[in-house]
Amino acid sequence: MSVRCLMFFAALLGSACGSGSAAAADLHSNIATFSIVACDSATGDLGVAVQSRFFAVGSVVPWARAGAGAIATQAFGNTTFGPRGLALLAAGIPPAQVLDSLLSTDAQGKQRQVGVVNSRGTSATFTGTECQKWAGGRTGRHYACQGNILAGPGVVDGMARAFEQTRGLLGDRLLAALDAGQAAGGDSRGMQSAALLIVRAGGGYGGFNDRYCDLRVDDAANPFSELRRLYNLWKPEALIRDGYTACDSGRFELAFTLGREALAVDSITGAPHYHLACYLCRAGKPDAALEELARAVARDPKLGVQARTDTDFTPVRESSRFRELAGLK
């Protein structure tokens, strides 16, 4: 890659080099990034949320591995820090030492900004002296916030406070932190893209990988609202999936709770009612299951057709109420 290309990408990720062409300086003046890496002590989930005046920031900044940790590499981001740092975390190296190791052989370390958290919630953050101001970070138990070319230190302070005070899934807390950072002034030069990455052992589609949540907004006038919209589509699906996992292990009360949480996010489509009916049927509560199925079919008649071949409804398949809801009579 040419020197000109390297200067271009350095500018896009918000690093300020003390020298360079006038064109590179102009690029530097238009970009900024802030992020949070975090661990959920209750579930073991690990994640990164980031916003930047950079196209497709999710392809560069966030890195995470279930059971190991999460890393954000930004400013003049070094993408090798992701896989290398995660390997060190997986080997039990503490986050501060991971940073030392990554930066010790990096000739451009003064232009890097990195946040690290491990699966035990220990965190560390680094901001090089040549990152464009305001640049800095904050750490706390289970998280690290960092940003460059920000409106001021209130951005990362607000992010830290929001993460600590917000309850719910890790995704809820990470997005609350992003929103708080923006409310405090956010990027001093604008916004363009955002991403949310959360990993969980076996949390990916079909249980084949750990990508529990992987959402990206590559280019938008308001990436915060668009990321939130995508998250609100993902969340009920994730809660429903987790509900089935709870049923499989006989934790039916947890499944019911997850189903009701899905309903709180999506009270329109009928899908949460349908899946809650499945949980109830599997738990030996046929009357309650049929009530929920009726609510599902009232919102979407096609769910009655779906129920005809769903083995979760085997215990009620011969009841007249089920046959009515499924359109079998």
pLDDT at 11 over 80: no
Joined together, the tokens standing for residue 140 give: 């706390």
Give the tens place of pLDDT for each residue, 121-165: 999 999 999 999 999 999 999 999 999 999 899 999 999 999 999
Is the C-alpha dihedral spanning 86, 73, 34, 209 positive or negative? negative
What integer pLDDT is reported at residue 206 of this predicted model?
Answer: 86
What pLDDT score was predicted for residue 186? 76
pLDDT of residue 325: 97
In three-state form (DSSP H/G/I as H, E/B as E, the rest C), the secondary structure along the chain is CCHHHHHHHHHHCCECCCCCCHHHHHHHCCCCEEEEEEECCCCCCEEEEEEECCCCHHHCCEEEECCCEEEEEEECCCCCHHHHHHHHHHCCCCHHHHHHHHHHCCCCHHHEEEEEEECCCCEEEEECCCECCCCEEEEECCEEEEEECECCCHHHHHHHHHHHHCCCCHHHHHHHHHHHHHHCCCECCCCCEEEEEEECCCCCHHHCCCEEEEEEECCCCCHHHHHHHHHHHHHHHHHHHHHHHHHHCCCHHHHHHHHHHHHHHCCCCCHHHHHHHHHHHHCCCHHHHHHHHHHHHHHCCHHHHHHCCCHHHHHHCCCHHHHHHCCCC
Average pLDDT, the chain: 90
pLDDT, tens digit, for every residue of 175-229?
999 999 999 987 767 789 999 999 999 999 889 999 999 999 999 999 999 999 9
- What is the mean pLDDT of the segment spanning 1-5? 42
Across 29-33, 42-46, 65-69, least confident range: 29-33
Note the pLDDT of residue 26. Answer: 36
| Structure confidence by residue, pLDDT tens digits, 48-58 | 999 998 999 99
* Res. 263: pLDDT tops 80: yes
Cα–Cα dist 62/46, whole Å? 11
pLDDT of residue 190: 79
Q: Over 90: is that where the pLDDT of 29 sits?
A: no
pLDDT at position 32, please? Answer: 65
270-317 residue pLDDT tens: 999 999 999 999 999 999 999 999 999 999 999 999 999 999 999 999
Given a contact cutoff of 8 angstroms between Cβ atoms, the answer to whether 39 and 45 are in contact is yes
Instruction: Note the pLDDT of residue 9.
Output: 46
Residue pointed to by tokens 């109830």: 280
Q: Which of 62, 49, 56 is nearest to 9 (CA)?
A: 56
Percentage of residues of the chain with pLDDT beyond 90: 85
In whole angstroms, give the CA distance from residue 263 to residue 190.
Answer: 35
Number of C-beta neighbours around residue 328 at 10 A: 13
Q: What is the pLDDT of residues 225-244, one digit of tens each?
A: 999 999 999 999 999 999 99
Are 33 and 147 contacting, i.e. CB atoms less than 8 angstroms apart?
yes
Predicted TM-score (pTM) above 0.85: yes
